[in-house]
Amino acid sequence: MSRSALVIVNYGSSELLARNAARLELPSRCRLVVVDCFSSDAERARVRALADARGWRAVLLEENAGFGGGVNAGANLAIAEGADVVVTLNPDAFLERDALATLVAAAAADPAALVVPRIVDSSGRPWFGGADLYLDDGSIAGASRRDSRAGRPRREWATGACLALSADLWRRVGGFDEDYFLYWEDVDLSHRVMDAGGRILLADAVATHDEGGTHDDAASGRAKSETYYYYSIRNRLLYAAKHLDAAGSAAWLRATPRVSYAILLQGGRRQLVTLPPWRAYVRGIRDGRRLLTARGLPGIGLPERSEATFDRTGAS
């Protein structure tokens, strides 16, 4: 079996590391690398203790480098120390030993592939089974919705919550783009992999998503954090600035109020009576538009007010 490294990025989630990573059974020639993006002295001490007790390779960053920056630090170290395959895993996810071995073997056998498992929640309900980015408006949908969106231009993408790739592919595309900080860096990586002649491969393996995850608000049911909403909305436009021409970026910006509202609805309608989702909505659109403007795309402006008006109750 190829030498591999499982990279987990931690930011204030040592309880999830203790609950999920600590019970992982690694296949032979696989090393766990935990990257701690600094959040507090107490959290750093907990991560050190876990790493020492479990024999993990700890990478202790002095600042919060974001998800992409954290994975880059861990993956680059692992590859420098001889890893042939890198697997990413969120601290709120879990892989059985055989599933991890399957991902490693698939990435080693197809060095041009981004390999992903199916991901389910603790009750077995699908959480990820392939996903598409629709290029006409910048919306994202699961692969199960392809029939209802037939004929629309799309790109597949692999979730960074759990993916595997060869060291050769990692070096070829340069890892994650750290401009995203959090969210959409996996969509961007998938884009660059396919532009380099690679592909997305859904492996015969299953990971489990822990619903008490890092950017879910457990006290609010389905609600996501303000951080999740902000970066999901902003980074959609950052992706457009990096990968689309002026006409494509303008089309995405025209669709931004509608698509951003759909992002808010991922947390359910009940939380829309509170301020944080709407604050993230406004800030995300504002900052995303600035990123487009900063990249010199002419003639881009926000839609008229009538296009940006939504019923905050969520009623249709």
pLDDT in tens, 59-74: 999 999 999 999 999 9
Contact 118, 126 (CB under 8 A): yes
What's the rounded Cα separation, in Å, for the pair 290 and 288? 5
Q: What is the pLDDT of residue 216?
A: 57
Q: Is 269 left (phi over 0), alpha (psi -120 to 50) or beta?
A: alpha
Q: What domains sit in the chain, N to C, each tagged with a CATH number?
A: 4-209 (3.90.550.10), 218-308 (no CATH)
- How many CB atoms neighbour CB 181 within 10 A? 19
The DSSP bridge partners found for residue 121 are 209
What's the rounded Cα separation, in Å, for the pair 147 and 153? 13
Q: What is the pLDDT of residue 293?
A: 87
- How many CB atoms neighbour CB 180 within 10 A? 23
Amino acid at 285: I
Q: What is the pLDDT of residue 291?
A: 93
Q: What is the pLDDT of residue 241?
A: 96
Closest CA to 265 of 213, 316, 210, 206: 316
Residue 216 is classified by DSSP as B
Q: pTM of the full predicted structure?
A: 0.90
Q: Write out residues in the chain with pLDDT < 70, as ranges.
A: 211-222, 296-316
